[in-house]
Amino acid sequence: MARPQNFYPGEPLPDDEMRVTLLGTGTPFPRRGQAAACIFVEAAGHKFLLDCGPGAPANFTSLEIPFAEVDKVFLTHHHVDHIGGLDQFWIGGWTYGRREPLNIWGPAGTSKIIEHFQAIYEWDIETRRRVFETLAGSELVCTEYDEGVVYDHDGLKLTAFVVDHTPPQNTYGFRIEAAGRTMVFSGDTKRCQNLIDHAQNADLIIHESFPPIEIYAAKAGRPMEVAHNIAEVVHTSPREVGAVMAETNPRLGVIYHMYNNDDVVGPALLQVREKYQGRFEIGHDLMVINIGDDISVRPAVISDKPWPVRPSGEFTTAPGH
């Protein structure tokens, strides 16, 4: 299927395709040019997030999608770069049009985090409810999951599987099946046989990676031992990502969770190519991937200063406002 060279917000999605937009491809280190971990998925009439790191909500609003259309977030684990944008997505989404509760799925301990969110923002929510009395979007509904099927409704199936990140282990990856297409999201992990097993026959695998250790140590000013522990013990090197791709052979492989500076991308890709020669990309924020009979990879053309998208229906406020 021929597609425009770039993705523009509002482009329709065929019924037999899945669209995946990388809203955040970065790390815990805050960078203006790279938001933290977040993937936006559209398929079979569903729109949802995988993780929601800092900076990602701004990339979401640049796609000009009404908040009312997104009511599901699936969390892989609780590191700040995977949940640090959730409060803004929750409250910002409520105040700009989400009329239903925001549903959060996460591993053990997610309910405690949600309770703390609600306590932290009690005053914020109370003051806004005086204006947005008719909106139910201030509610959070939390469901904790274990390994297995997390969600299976209306043509969308999402399965969680344990990955190997950092002790105590409480981190998962996801296999998403919808519209006859399959994608796998690693969350954070080192090379992991359970991921390899769950990623067989996937159209798309989005796998985490840190930069090659020598580059990371030099750029981040860290001793080699510390760099090794971060980049190759609790995360995955590009070389090991290549090995994972070779064992799973997706139609497209993508790296996220990496400092994707120009002087890092080349060496990282060379390491991947030591093990894997299939189709492969190093992820950038607002990279849009359409998975259909063919797979296209395009940059989104967006405004850095979008206006809120008005939800359908009338907007009403509380009496006296």
Residue 313 has pLDDT above 60, yes or no: no
Mean pLDDT of 257-285: 97
Residue 321 has pLDDT above 50, yes or no: no
User: What is the percent of the chain where pLDDT is above 70?
Assistant: 96
Amino acid (1-letter code) at residue 109: G
Query: Could you say which DSSP state residue 251 is in?
Result: S
pLDDT band at 80 (very low <50, low <70, confident <90, very high): very high
Distance, in Å, from the CA atom of 98 to the CA atom of 137, rounded to the nearest integer, reads 5
DSSP of 259-276 = ---HHHHHHHHHHHHTT-
Mean pLDDT of 209-223: 94
pLDDT band at 132 (very low <50, low <70, confident <90, very high): confident
pTM for the full predicted model: 0.95
Collect all residues with Cβ–Cβ distance below 8 Å to 306 and sequence separation of at least 6: 61, 62, 64
Asked if 60 contacts 288 with a C-beta cutoff of 8 angstroms, the reply is: no
Instruction: Give the pLDDT score at 89.
Output: 97
Helix (H) or strand (E) holding 238: helix 238-248
Residue 130 has pLDDT above 90, yes or no: no
- Say which range, 58-67, 124-133, 173-182, 287-296, has the weakest mean pLDDT: 124-133
Collect all residues with Cβ–Cβ distance below 8 Å to 41 and sequence separation of at least 6: 18, 19, 20, 21, 47, 48, 49, 50, 176, 183
Residue 283 has pLDDT above 50, yes or no: yes
Distance, in Å, from the CA atom of 160 to the CA atom of 288, rounded to the nearest integer, reads 23
User: What is the percent of the chain where pLDDT is above 90?
Assistant: 89
Instruction: Give the pLDDT score at 134.
Output: 63
DSSP of 88-123 = HHHHHHHHTT--SPEEEEESTTHHHHHHHHHHHTHH
3-state secondary structure of 20: strand
- Helix 238-248 and helix 262-273: axis angle, to 10°? 40
pLDDT band at 320 (very low <50, low <70, confident <90, very high): very low
| Separation in Å, CA 190 to CA 47, 76, 89, 181, 234 | 28, 14, 28, 25, 6
* C-beta atoms surrounding 293 within 10 Å: 10
Instruction: Give the pLDDT score at 310.
Output: 75
Domains observed in the chain:
19-299 (3.60.15.10)
Mean pLDDT of 86-102: 93
Taking only the tens place, the pLDDT of each residue in 171-197 is: 999 999 999 999 999 999 999 999 999
Instruction: Give the pLDDT score at 290.
Output: 98
Residue 247 has pLDDT above 80, yes or no: yes
| Separation in Å, CA 220 to CA 213, 230, 305 | 10, 11, 31
Average pLDDT of the chain, as a whole number: 94
Distance, in Å, from the CA atom of 55 to the CA atom of 73, rounded to the nearest integer, reads 16
Distance, in Å, from the CA atom of 210 to the CA atom of 285, rounded to the nearest integer, reads 16
Residue 117 has pLDDT above 70, yes or no: yes
| E strand spans, the chain | 18-24, 38-43, 46-50, 72-74, 102-106, 140-144, 148-153, 156-162, 172-178, 181-185, 204-208, 252-256, 280-282, 287-291, 295-299
Query: Could you say which DSSP state residue 57 is in?
Result: H
Asked if 155 contacts 179 with a C-beta cutoff of 8 angstroms, the reply is: yes
